[in-house]
Structure 1
Amino acid sequence: MIMMQLPKEFEETTKALMGEELYDTLLRGLGSEPPVSIRLNPFKPSADLFKGYGDAEKCISMKPVPWAKDGYYLSERPSFTLDPLFHAGAYYVQEASSMFVDFIIRQLITSPVTMLDLCAAPGGKTICARTALPEGSILYSNEPNRTRANILAENVIKFGHPDIVVTNNYAKDYSKAGINFDVILTDVPCSGEGMFRKDPNAINEWSPDNVEACWRLQRSIVEDIWPCLKPGGILIYSTCTFNAKEDEDNVQWIVDNLGAEPITIKNIDEKWNITSALKGSLPVYRFIPGRTTGEGLFIAVLRKNDDSAQTVQRKRKPEQILHILSHGINSPTIKGKKTIPDISLALSADQEANNYPSVEVDYNTAINYLRREAIVLPSETPRGIVTIKYKGLGLGFANNLGNRANNLYPQEWRIKTTHVKK
C-alpha cells in the first residue's frame, strides 16, 4: 500500500459526498499501484507487432479494457520511451477510465460527424475518439496552452490519421470561426483529485480555493463553446476530479441554463463497477479507484435542445481565425533547392501517400535515430531522402549521403534519456 497524506478539507468533503464505505474503498484504491493501460492503433498494423516482441509480449496481459475497443491492461509498466513502436504510433499509453469515450461514441454516433475535442492535450481522448468515430468524420483537436498544444500535435501526428486538425485556440475563437459541431468533448481543466495516485503534485496543488476557481472556469468554457454545438448535437462533459461542485452541480447547471437534455448510456456491465451520481439523479458516470480499474474520472453526456440558443454563423474561413498546428500530412519545408518532407508523411497511416524509399532498421539504430544521433544505413540504401522504418512502421526521414546519413528527426521530439534497454 502507498501511504498518501491527503488534505483535511478534501477528506471531509469527499467522505461527506461518498459516504464512509465508498470513501474507504477510494482510500484503498489510492493506496494501491495504478494500473497501466494502452490503446493499440487500429490504423497501423500494431496488434500483431506485439506477438513475439520482447517487452511488449511480457507486459501485455491480454486483458482488455472492457469498455474500449483496442484497449488493454499491462501486467507491468515497460519503458515506453525506449520502445520504437511507441514513437511510431503503434499504440498510445492511455489511462483506462478515460477510454470510456470510446464506448460513448460508438453507442451514439453512427454516421460521419464534425467533432471538437476542446481541451485535448496530451491527446489520449482525441485518439480514442478518432478510432471510434465513423470514417468520413472530421475531428478538431484543440489545446489553448501553446506548450501543451505542441505536445498534442506530436501525439496526433504519431497516431497518423489524416482527418484530425490540431489547433491552439480558446473556446471563444471557435465561436468567431463559426464552425458548428455535431459533437463537442469538453474535458475541462479541474482540481485533479482523480490524479492523486498518479501525480503527487496534484495533492500539493489542491485547495478549496482551487476547486472554486475550477468550478467557475468550467462553466465559462462550456458557456463559450455552447453556441458552436448544433441543435440536437452532443456534449460530452468530463473531469478527473471527485467533488460534486465540478461534477454533478455543473451538469445540472448545463441542463438548467443552456438547454440540454441528459443522455443515458446503455449496456453498461455491472462488473465494470462504474458509480452513478453521488448527488442528484442525473445519469452520470464516475470511475473511482478501488472500485473501477482505472484513475478517477467523471463523465456526463448531454444533448442540445433544438429550441436552445441559436448556433454561431460562419462569417469567414476558419483558417483565418484558428491557429492550426497540424492537419493530416503537413507541407514540406523548402531549403534552397531541397524539399524536406514533414515527419507527418513518414508517420501517416496512409503509406500510399509516401513515395520516398524506405529502409528497415534494427532496434539499436532505431533508438539512435530517435535520439537524433548520427546513424549509418546499409550500403544498398538509396541516396537522398529515405523513410526510416522499424518493424514496418515509419519513424521519420533521413538524408542518406552514402558514408553517413543526416538525421531529420525533429529536435524537439528526440529521446533525451541516455539509458538503454536491459
Structure 2
Amino acid sequence: MSAEHHLFHVTREKLKRFIATQVYPAEKQLPAPGDDEGYGRTQAMRHLRAEAEREGLFNLFSSLREDEFGFSTVQIAELAELTGHSPLLAQDAIGSLNPDAEVINLIRRFGTPAQRDRWVAALAAGEAASALCITEPDVASSDPTEIRAAWRAHAGKFLLSGEKHWALGALNPNLRLLIVLAITEPEEKRRRRLSLILLPSERSGIIIGESATVFGYGNDARGGMPHIRFSDVEVDENDILGPRGQGLATVQSSLGPARLFHCMRLVGSGERALQLMCQRLISRTIRGKPLSEDALWMSRIADSRIAIDQSRAFALSVAAKVDASGLEAAAVDISAVKAILPEAMARVIDMAIQSFGAEGMSHALPLAGMWALARSLRFSDGPDEVHKAVVARAELKRELS
C-alpha cells in the first residue's frame, strides 16, 4: 500500500468513526429547525468542531489542506459520501459546509494576495462567514446571463445596485463577506458581462431581509437564505475576484467537482436511510410477521439497494474520469450524474420515511431533512432540465458528426 493510499485509508476510517461516535449522538442534542439558537451556536456544535480539530478532520475538504492530503477526486468523493450520513451536521462539524468552504477555494484560486490575506484564514477559522449572492428574484435561474444586478461608474468608483434572493449564509451572525455576481462589463457579450465581487458586509447600502425556507427548513446551519437589496453600494476594481467579465467562468470552475461531491453526500444519505428503514421493518410486526418479510417491503429494500449502488458506481466512475482526463472532459458526465442522482436518492429516502409513518416526517429522525436536501439539489447548481439538455446536446452532436 502506497503512503498516499494509507493516508486516505486512515482518514476514511477516522471520519467514519467520528461520524458514528460523535455526530450521530449529537443529532438529538441540536435545536429543531427554526429554533432561534441555531446549529452553530449550540454547545453540542462547538464540542463537535473541537473534536474534529483534535482528530485532524477540520477543514478536511478545503484546498487549504491539499498539500497535506493530496487526495484524488475519487477519494474526496468517497469521504463526501460518509458525511452524507448526517449531511448538515457532519459537514458543519468538520468545517466543510458551504458557502464558506466553496468561497475559501474560490479566493485561494482566483484571489489577489491581498484578498487571500484578508479573507482565507478568517473564513477557515470560523472567525468570519460568507454569503453567496447569485440568484435573483426576477430572473430565470437556469440562465445566469440574464442577471440584472450591476455597477455604474461614479466619481472614480462604482456603485452596485440590484436584488438577490436565496443568498446562502447572509444571516450568519459572523457574516463579514458577500460574494456577488453582477454586471460590470455591459458592452461585452452576454457570458462576458459578469464579474464576481468580494463585498465586505459593513459597506453601506446592503439591506438584508427575511430568510426563505426549504420545506420548512431555514438552513440555519448555513446562515439562512435571505433576500438582499444592494442600493448604491460603493465598490472598486480591487473588489473583483478573478478577471473582470469572467464571473460565470470563475463560478463554473468550482461547480463541477462540487456537484459530484454534493451527489456523493446524497449517496451517504441514501445508505443511512436504507439502514434506518431496515431497522424499522425488522422491529415492526403485522399479523405476527416482521414487516421486513412482507413482499412489498422486500421489493422496496431491493430497489433502494440497487439505486444506491448504481448511483455510487456512476458518480465514482465520473470522478475517476475527472482524475484521468480533467474536469472539461467529464463535464457532460457530471451533468448526467447531477440529473439522475438527487431524484434517485430522494426516492430511497422517501421510502424510508414511508416505513416510519408520521414519525418519518418529524424532527425525531434525520430523514425529512435529508429528503429536503435531496429535493432542493434538483435546483441547486443548476436545475435538472439544464443538465439533461447538456446531455441531450452532446448525444445529438455525436449523431450529427
More strand per residue: 1
**TM-score w.r.t. length of structure 2:** 0.24
Q: Using structure 1 for the length normalisation, give the TM-score.
A: 0.23
**Would you tell me which structure has more helix in proportion to its own residues?**
2
